[in-house]
Structure 1
Amino acid sequence: MVATGTLLTFVVAALASLFMAWAIGAGSSGSTPFAAAVGANAISVMRAGFVVGLLGFAGAVLQGANVTQAVGTELIGGVSLTATAAIVGLLTAAILVAIGVFTGYPIATAFTVTGAVVGVGLALGGDPAWAKYRQITTLWVLTPFVGGGIAYGTARLLRSPSVPERYVIAPLGGLVGALVATIEFALLGPSGGAGSIAGTLGTGVPGGTPAVALACALLVTAVLFRGLVTDPEATQRRFLLTLGGLVAFSAGGSQVGLAIGPLVPLLDDLAIPLPAVLAGGGFGLLLGSWTGAPRMIKALAQDYSSLGPRRSIAALIPSFAIAQAAVAFGIPVSFNEIVVSAIIGSGYAAGGSGVSRRKMLYTVLAWIGSLVLALVVAFAAFTLIDAL
């Protein structure tokens, strides 16, 4: 029998989590996936916000478990987060992210949530999880260089007059198809666990999973190549929108963990299944995308770089790959950092035209400041509440 006070406290924590999910949906997960497509005039701002909300919800339900578990149990050692700690951490991070949404600057959600959870965890007397911090820091530091570098190289290749676009875009699409076939989704594995499309279809097939992944890559390559020959403009636009959708799906799988991860230590006592909480977090992301994302989509699409279809494709491919790597390893990652870095990389392939260096500097400072500020505020707030 669950005590009424415990249940009431969990409800308050869940409401804080829902607010966090809304703020994330209105900010990073709701704005960044389709910013490049909007910048390339492939989709309108309002339609992008609507579609990204639905795809983010799907990603949260089908891929959200890894990052959720990491945020809830792996950022601090020796203690489990209490309901009060979860409330303080979530509200601290959500307020900072909401400030970013309404001021037009993309605060890195992963930075704020990670800082806030570590802050309340340390205030509880927990130990720093140094191994996890090294893993997280490595991805955060490498993301701008890897994502931006790949986007830069891809954009340069697409702009080369000596290489027809179809010989570049079609193989890139094949790589994306192979990646989609091999990433894991909930319910596709044995006994309803996680599994990949290639793994499921490869059972009993000669060559197994690699053969199915290769077949998917070749099929996507062939379809794209044919389309780029017969109707290049429409095919390029459809590929761009598909990439935006994949990034939006990946954003849901990663960012939902930032919203509901702090609730994980509370679930066992209340016998609440994780999939139900993932669905609730996904619903919060959806609401945020529908109500607040258009403002940030406009900021990213118009203020950061003047994107065409080629540069948009170059930005979204590494964004999708990095996002899926973070989901697979259970690492909280900022989609603002991923996509903005890729947008900058693709922008510099055209000589840096349209890239606002001044705004980039302010954005990086906001990312670093949000991490430090979230940690300090969350630590101080929980310490004060605990003393009272």
Structure 2
Amino acid sequence: MVDPATIGTAVVAALASLFMAWAIGAGSSGSTPFAPAVGANAISVMRAGLVVGVLGFAGAVLQGQSVTEAVGSELIGGVSISALAATVGLLTAAILVALGVFKGYPIATAFTVTGAVVGVGLAMGGTPAWAKYRQIVTLWVLTPFIGGGIAYVTARLLRADWVPERTLVPALAGLVGAIVANIQFALLGGSGGGGSIAGEIARPIGEGLALRAGATLAIAALVATTVAADASRDEEGAQRRFLLALGGLVAFSAGGSQVGLAIGPLVPLLDTFDSIPVFALLFGGGIGLLAGSWTGAPRMIKALSQDYSSLGPRRSIAALIPSFAIAQVAVAFGIPVSFNEIIVSAIVGSGFAAGGAGVSRKKMLFTVLAWVGSLALSLAVSFGVMTAIGAL
């Protein structure tokens, strides 16, 4: 029998998690996926907030488990995060993210949550998980260079006269289709865990990398052919529809990654409340993301789409492709990642492909400082508050 005090603390932790999910939905996962599409006038701000909320919810439920478990159990060693520690960490991170939303600066959610969880864990006497930190920091450091670099090259190709756009855009669509074909979905793969579309297509024939690669190529060719046929009828309309599809994929990926930042600290509590499945946490976190996207995301969508870079359809496509790919890598390896860092880097990379037109260097400097500051501040505040509570 769980005592009432523990239940009460767990309820407070769950409410803090819900607040964190709302802040994330209003900030990174709710604003970044469709910001380039809004900047390219492919969709309105309010409609983008509505659509990204639904897709983020779907991603949270279908792809959120790996990052959720990493945040809950792999950031600190030697101790299990208590309900009180989860509450302190989540409230610290959520307040910082919410302040960023209302101030118009995209605080890196992964930075704040990681710092907060590590802070409360260290205050409880835990040991640093250096191996996981190396994975996380490597991805965080490489993201601006890889994402921005790919966006820059893609945008340059889309602007180049020697590359026919009617050939390049379907080829890019085929590449995206190949990535989608290998995403792990919770509903596929039977009872043994998640599975991919390519794996399910190849399964009736047999197992093996060659069969899966063949299925991947078939899906990529189908997507490329479909986009090419659409472009032959209406080139501008096909480009806009491809852009919206990319935004949807990034929104789905954002839900799969960012929900773990909100509900991950609650995972250790499942040992106490063993009747609650992880799916219930994913569903609740998805609802929080959905609410945040619908109520708070429009402000940040406007900030990203208009303040960072004046984007056209080509540069928006160039920004979203690496954003989607990096997000899926993070989900696959269970690494908490900031969608603000991913998308802003890609937006800037695509902007510099046009000579840096519309890129606000001053805004970018303040954003980077906010990212670094949020990591240090969340770690220090959560550590200090948890230490003070333990001394009472």
8 Å Cα contact 1:88-1:120 kept in structure 2: yes
Once the two structures are TM-superposed, the CA of residue 28 in structure 1 deviates from its matched residue by 0.2
Taking the aligned partners of 1:236 and 1:151, their CA distance within structure 2 comes to 16
Taking the aligned partners of 1:340 and 1:166, their CA distance within structure 2 comes to 27
* Aligned partner letter, 1:229: S
Taking the aligned partners of 1:356 and 1:205, their CA distance within structure 2 comes to 53
Residue number among 364, 382, 392 corresponding to 1:360 in the alignment: 364
Alignment partner, residue 158 of structure 1? 158
Alignment partner, residue 343 of structure 1? 347
Once the two structures are TM-superposed, the CA of residue 191 in structure 1 deviates from its matched residue by 1.0
Alignment partner, residue 295 of structure 1? 299
Deviations along 1:79-117, one digit per CA (max 9) or x if unpaired, are 110011000000000000000000000000000000000
* Aligned partner letter, 2:116: A
Task: Say which SS state the counterpart of residue 42 (structure 2) adopts.
Answer: coil
Task: After TM superposition, list the pairs within 5 Å mapping 1:244-323 onto structure 2.
Answer: 244-271=247-274, 272-323=276-327
Taking the aligned partners of 1:282 and 1:308, their CA distance within structure 2 comes to 31
Once the two structures are TM-superposed, the CA of residue 4 in structure 1 deviates from its matched residue by 2.0
Residue number among 197, 219, 222 corresponding to 1:219 in the alignment: 222
Deviations along 1:278-327, one digit per CA (max 9) or x if unpaired, are 00000000000000000000000000000000000000000000000000
Task: Say which SS state the counterpart of residue 272 (structure 2) adopts.
Answer: helix
Taking the aligned partners of 1:190 and 1:245, their CA distance within structure 2 comes to 26
Task: After TM superposition, list the pairs within 5 Å mapping 1:20-31 onto structure 2.
Answer: 20-31=20-31
With 263-272 and 24-33 compared, the bigger mean Cα shift is at 263-272
Once the two structures are TM-superposed, the CA of residue 3 in structure 1 deviates from its matched residue by 2.1
* Aligned partner letter, 1:170: P
* Aligned partner letter, 1:250: S
Alignment partner, residue 112 of structure 1? 112
Once the two structures are TM-superposed, the CA of residue 175 in structure 1 deviates from its matched residue by 0.7
Once the two structures are TM-superposed, the CA of residue 166 in structure 1 deviates from its matched residue by 1.5
8 Å Cα contact 1:20-1:94 kept in structure 2: yes
8 Å Cα contact 1:68-1:257 kept in structure 2: yes
Taking the aligned partners of 2:7 and 2:248, their CA distance within structure 1 comes to 37
Once the two structures are TM-superposed, the CA of residue 192 in structure 1 deviates from its matched residue by 6.0
Alignment partner, residue 69 of structure 1? 69
* Structure 1 unaligned regions, length at least 5: none
8 Å Cα contact 1:7-1:270 kept in structure 2: no
Taking the aligned partners of 2:336 and 2:166, their CA distance within structure 1 comes to 35
* Aligned partner letter, 1:223: T
Taking the aligned partners of 2:266 and 2:93, their CA distance within structure 1 comes to 14
Task: After TM superposition, list the pairs within 5 Å mapping 1:39-58 onto structure 2.
Answer: 39-58=39-58
Task: Say which SS state the counterpart of residue 270 (structure 1) adopts.
Answer: coil
Task: Say which SS state the counterpart of residue 352 (structure 1) adopts.
Answer: coil
* Aligned partner letter, 2:197: I
Task: After TM superposition, list the pairs within 5 Å mapping 1:50-199 onto structure 2.
Answer: 50-191=50-191, 193-199=193-199
Taking the aligned partners of 2:149 and 2:166, their CA distance within structure 1 comes to 22
Taking the aligned partners of 1:369 and 1:246, their CA distance within structure 2 comes to 30
8 Å Cα contact 1:186-1:192 kept in structure 2: no
8 Å Cα contact 1:32-1:300 kept in structure 2: yes
Taking the aligned partners of 1:274 and 1:143, their CA distance within structure 2 comes to 29
Taking the aligned partners of 2:183 and 2:253, their CA distance within structure 1 comes to 10
* Aligned partner letter, 1:252: G
Task: After TM superposition, list the pairs within 5 Å mapping 1:30-41 onto structure 2.
Answer: 30-41=30-41
* Aligned partner letter, 1:217: A
Deviations along 1:224-243, one digit per CA (max 9) or x if unpaired, are 11222221011000000000
* Aligned partner letter, 2:222: L
Aligned: 1:380 with 2:384 = yes
Alignment partner, residue 6 of structure 1? 6
Task: Say which SS state the counterpart of residue 184 (structure 1) adopts.
Answer: coil
Deviations along 1:168-221, one digit per CA (max 9) or x if unpaired, are 111110010011011101021131621111111211237532221111000011
Taking the aligned partners of 2:95 and 2:298, their CA distance within structure 1 comes to 19
Once the two structures are TM-superposed, the CA of residue 7 in structure 1 deviates from its matched residue by 1.6
Alignment partner, residue 236 of structure 2? 233
With 314-323 and 194-203 compared, the bigger mean Cα shift is at 194-203
Once the two structures are TM-superposed, the CA of residue 30 in structure 1 deviates from its matched residue by 0.2
Give the aligned length.
388
Once the two structures are TM-superposed, the CA of residue 150 in structure 1 deviates from its matched residue by 0.2
Q: CA RMSD in A?
A: 0.8
Alignment partner, residue 202 of structure 1? 202
TM-score by length of 2: 0.98
Once the two structures are TM-superposed, the CA of residue 2 in structure 1 deviates from its matched residue by 2.4
Once the two structures are TM-superposed, the CA of residue 167 in structure 1 deviates from its matched residue by 1.4
* Aligned partner letter, 1:76: I
* Aligned partner letter, 2:227: L
Taking the aligned partners of 2:376 and 2:169, their CA distance within structure 1 comes to 41
Aligned: 1:327 with 2:331 = yes
* Structure 2 unaligned regions, length at least 5: none
Task: Say which SS state the counterpart of residue 33 (structure 1) adopts.
Answer: coil
Once the two structures are TM-superposed, the CA of residue 71 in structure 1 deviates from its matched residue by 0.3
